[in-house]
Amino acid sequence: MRALFVYCLSLSASVWGQSSIVDAYVASESPIAKAGVLANIGPSGSKSAGAKAGVVIASPSTSDPNYLYTWTRDSSLVFKALIDQYTLGQDTTLRTEIDNFVSAEAAVQQVSNPSGTVSTGGLGEPKFNIDLSAFTGDWGRPQRDGPALRATALITYANWLIADGNTSYVSSTVWPIIKLDLGYVVTSWNQTGFDLWEEISSSSFFTTAVQHRSLREGATLASALGDQSLATQYRTQADNVLCFLQSYWNPTNFFMTSNTGGGRSGKDANTALASIHTFDPAAGCDAVTFQPCSDKALSSLKVYVDAFRSIYSVNSGIASNAAVATGRYPEDVYMGGNPWYLTTAAVAEQLYDAIIVWNRTGSIEVTSISLAFFQQFSSSVTVGVYASSTTTYSDLLAAVQTFADGFLAINAKYTPSGGGLAEQFSRSNGTALSAVDLTWSYAATLTAFGARAGVVSASWGASGLKVPSSCSTGPGGGGSTVSITFNEYATTVSGENIYLTGSIDALQDWSTSTALLLSADKYPTWSITLNLPASTSFQYKYIRKVNGTVTWESDPNRQFTTPASGSSVINDSWR
């Protein structure tokens, strides 16, 4: 362990200085960041003129770039942070803002937009005007993470309300919003869409991860509200999503590939953001759900961080095991391709989350996958489990704490004197760039500060999950599966939907309660695309559901055999 001792000794003076810098940054920036978030929420936020109540503007910037819109993703992440503060008792003044958010999201769900209506794919629309009217310009749509993130934010609030004795408000107001969002996730998780950077249409690790969380915690809430049918449906699809989540792992280079398309390396802040936004302190260092201290999450983090060491001038001269400024992905060219405050803060937050769990469990496990991460701090560390009673544990914990603080120290260095956080800072000199007062930058700073202080939210159900031995995978999931599109021509009445069920696991084994909802995007043709086992014969039928009534189409059962490879389209009509 002499190498680690020398490392710690050589850094001792700078570490203490860095720690005090971060302490001071947390103290000064916390109220600024909180005020920055609230200033961007309508109608009374000082920088949100024109925004309806509960609407989060991404930024007050109106040119180069124009961010005066409200994004479902950004808004949901921001309000998840505020809801956490409220439900954890950190700020009891936020109730009105949260209730305004609930009302705003209920309204915006019903707005017809270029992605469709509430029942035909419109929930995948990424952004709206701040008066909640539809944005009709060209954009990367659909984006399938927004509904999942909104559901998660509202589920946190719903759980608190139920515990506070206000189940009626949940049932009448909050749950209907959540059900719409989770219904969208159920039917769209295995379809491609644009990633959180809105540039690539493929499968996104971040999207899949947050979809899995939303379905899992949605099932628990559904059970609490007595809707066992929906709870079963959500759990079934959560299992399928969990299967697909595993397919992003790159076993050769030891990192989660963030996107399945786009011609990039796959090294992306997407993975760190996925880890912190699906953090469950009760799940330990579980790799199946990519918990922050899991070997796969730590390995991915190292690969991601190292990708920026040599491409930004602001990182020149920094030791290979010290914190650096990070951006979205190394190939980024947007606004010149610069570091982002929120991505750099996300690295710190993942590490702080890991420390929280290590402190709780009293041990650090080093595996062959995470070995390179830990060898940054001790060249002699080996695979094994190190209890809190050992010197190795305490030294590694201190080194990771120093590493995490380094990322916040970088943000502190490049935060302007007034504390305002833009979207990016220059890769060459650290000058703030792009959209000013970015709400997500402020929210990400607050959540990183909270993690540093050891603040955790309630468990969402990630503990003890196992990947099912057989399940339907998503697009590009690999294995012996083929893409099959089912098209069913069927006219329906208001409130009626068409579902698919059949004789194999991927078609829910003839279940009506977990039957797969088809999309009405091309009504009266209802459609769903699934990855099914190759060279497999099965039977299937369509059913109608309205007001709890299930109607099967006429006999006989339909039959199909999937090809050995490629894809197929099945065109049917209701009978």
Q: DSSP state, 173? A: I
* pTM: predicted TM-score of the whole model, two decimal places: 0.81
Instruction: Measure the CA–CA gap between 183 and 487, rounded to whole angstroms.
Output: 19
**Token pair listed for 447:** 């959540």
Annotated binding site for substrate: 139
Q: Are 290 and 274 in contact (CB under 8 A)?
A: yes
AA letter at 559: Q
Task: Say how far apart CA 3 and CA 8 lie, in whole Å.
Answer: 9
Give 12's contacts (C-beta < 8 A, 6+ positions apart): none
Distance CA 496, CA 574 (A): 14
Tokens at 144, concatenated: 């399938």
Is 198 known to be catalytic? yes
Judge whether 199 counts as a catalytic residue. Answer: no
pLDDT value at 68 more than 60: yes
Residue-averaged pLDDT of the chain: 92
Model confidence pLDDT, tens digit, residues 80-128: 999 999 999 999 999 999 999 999 999 999 999 999 999 999 999 999 9
Q: Beta 363-366 vs 516-517: how paired, if at all?
A: unpaired
Asked if residues 456 and 281 have their Cβ atoms less than 8 Å apart, the reply is yes
**CB count, 10 Å around CB of 295?**
21
Q: Is the dihedral of CA 248, 457, 354, 364 positive or negative?
A: negative
Examine residue 126 and say whether the peptide bond preceding it is cis (omega within 30 degrees of 0). Answer: no
Average pLDDT over residues 215-229: 96
pLDDT at 564: 73
Does residue 505 come out as left (phi exceeding 0), alpha (psi in the -120 to 50 range) or beta?
A: alpha
Q: Is 509 left (phi over 0), alpha (psi -120 to 50) or beta?
A: left
Instruction: Please compute the mean of the pLDDT values over residues 297-311 and round it to a whole number.
Output: 98
* Distance, CA of 477 to CA of 462 (rounded, Å): 22
Comparing CA positions, the residue from 48, 62, 61 lying closest to residue 97 is 48
Q: Interhelix angle for 439-452 vs 341-361, to 10°? A: 20
> Is the separation of the CB atoms in 378 and 396 below 8 Å?
yes
Domains assigned to the chain: 43-247 (1.50.10.10), 258-457 (1.50.10.10), 481-573 (2.60.40.10)
**What pLDDT, on a 0 to 100 scale, did the predictor assign at position 136?**
96
Residue 204 CB-density burial (10 A; 0-12 exposed, 13-18 middle, 19+ buried): buried
- Active-site hit among 97, 105, 195, 280: 195
pLDDT of residue 192: 87
How confident is the model at residue 471, as a pLDDT?
67
| pLDDT tens per residue, range 143-190 | 999 999 999 999 999 999 999 999 999 999 999 999 999 999 999 998
> Torsions phi, psi of 498, nearest 5?
-110, 135
pLDDT of res. 541: 95
Question: What is the distance between the alpha carbons of residues 492 and 105, in angstroms, rounded to a whole number?
Answer: 27
Q: Distance between CA 198 and CA 67 in Å, rounded?
A: 14
Write down the catalytic residue from 198, 199, 227, 365.
198
As annotated, the binding site includes 139
Is pLDDT of 8 > 70?
no
**pLDDT average, residue stretch 395-414:** 97
DSSP state letters, 129-153:
-TTSPBP-S------SSHHHHHHHH
